[in-house]
Structure 1
């Protein structure tokens, strides 16, 4: 099982410099991958491309680009550029997005998200694998009157989806290479997410999907204080139906209930639970809430487990 980290250096004086520095520290600790969230700030495929160039050998990924407010032609260009820059070490994550950010940020109606995801994946797969597309859907049109390939990225790009609901999991199993569930504990993975996406992939004749579990977690002795900060920072996700459902299916009430916070023994045991639940990869996020010392401590443990 691969173990990686999600890097968030938005509090640094220069986010790009700090991201590269943290990625190098993660690789030195023995971690195998670094993932970057997409916000209205730094562009995550560019971050991945820069880190992949600066830290050879480290797998890099985007988790995740919403399909609203983007077009497959633009996302394909970003992904193929990152893939060529990293010599095949880039992984692209997509997301359905949320009503709050889609309508509040882009001014677009948040309608038929799963249908849009299906069309987006279909067009994007053609673009990333062949450099061309002639797709005409209900919601998306993607054509390439001129070639859209990027030399050096001929092997395509792995496509994953931050899917947790039944319809999104079905679409991901049929059309993507795996899923990126976040705030979904081992119970939700084992009983709902893994069976659903695996069955959909099998029915579509696709290989077994990757299950990249994004886990909010940190190794610390100051458990109560760190959990309190996590409760505050993660409260936003409780407003989003897909996350709220995943938290409930995991046995939690608040988002912080599924966070993995404790000493090395506690965290190692939880990583094993995710593996046993069907995760093919575990990516720890949120280590920045506890400070540099606990971040280094967390990465040291995860690097040991990865080895």
Structure 2
């Protein structure tokens, strides 16, 4: 299993590039950027690729509805060329609350939209469409998927899936069986919030006000119900080194091919967590 860093904060560009550099220095395999209402993740990935050699760069994930597949293909191939083809494109339809409430776009039939979008995107990335970028190879494409329909689409049309808020049991009993049924050797990338800390309850309480709202998004609500949980903060792994290491190993045992570590807590806790992630990256 490969371990990478998931960067979803809204810090300045140099801070985000510094996080990629720190990930590489600790021996992590990758750094993936989330799309929030801040820096553009593809642009940051290209800048990070120029500044930090060797490490895989990716998005986890870019929202599909606001970006035409031809435009996204052009962006992704440009990032691939700029990074020496170290780029992986993670995409997803996002959530009704964001697509309709923020972007003002229709969120009608998201699974149908995703299937059509991926079909068009893969054609453009392959060079058989409109977009041609010299020096670029078609990047791997990952789809954010938690439910059965989206997992089937991920297996049929993408190179794997990106999950969030999913426990090891959900990976083993729900994610892997469904994507494996339609795909050979898919990539299963689990984004996991980790904190090596002496104050696990306090860390979760601090995050509740930041990410707790996501518990009401339909796809996350479904996976939480499956896991017998009421809030996404219950999926945060927080505790001493042994506790966090055991959880990461559980994801490996469950069939995750990659774990993307989201660092939370204060600066000291984040540093301890990153150090542990590097140690695990060398041992798993």
TM-score relative to the length of structure 1: 0.89
Match of 2:281 in 1: 306
Runs of 4+ in structure 1 over 6 Å off? none
Q: Separation in 2 of the partners of 1:246 and 1:9? A: 23
Q: Separation in 1 of the partners of 2:270 and 2:66? A: 34
Question: After alignment, is 175-184 or 93-102 more displaced?
Answer: 93-102
Q: Deviations over 1:193-223 (max 9, x none)?
A: 111111122xxxxx32100000011111121
Deviation of the 1:9 alpha carbon: 4.2
- Give unpaired runs (5+ residues) of structure 2: none
Q: Separation in 1 of the partners of 2:162 and 2:175? A: 10
Structure 1 counterpart of 2:267, from 282, 288, 292: 292
Question: Secondary structure at the residue paired with 1:290?
Answer: coil
Deviation of the 1:269 alpha carbon: 0.2
Count of matched residue positions in the alignment of Structure 1 and Structure 2: 282
Match of 1:36 in 2: 33
Q: Separation in 1 of the partners of 2:74 and 2:126? A: 12
Structure 1 counterpart of 2:110, from 108, 113, 128: 113
Q: Does 1:255 align with 2:232?
A: yes
Question: Secondary structure at the residue paired with 1:104?
Answer: coil
Q: Separation in 2 of the partners of 1:128 and 1:8? A: 25
Deviation of the 1:183 alpha carbon: 0.3
Match of 2:257 in 1: 280
Conservation of the 8 A alpha-carbon contact between 1:187 and 1:249: no
Superposed CA RMSD: 1.2
Conservation of the 8 A alpha-carbon contact between 1:36 and 1:61: yes
Q: Separation in 2 of the partners of 1:108 and 1:20? A: 32
Match of 2:24 in 1: 27
Q: Separation in 2 of the partners of 1:169 and 1:162? A: 8
Match of 2:2 in 1: 2
Structure 2 counterpart of 1:150, from 119, 133, 141: 133
Match of 1:192 in 2: 174
Q: Separation in 2 of the partners of 1:273 and 1:192? A: 15
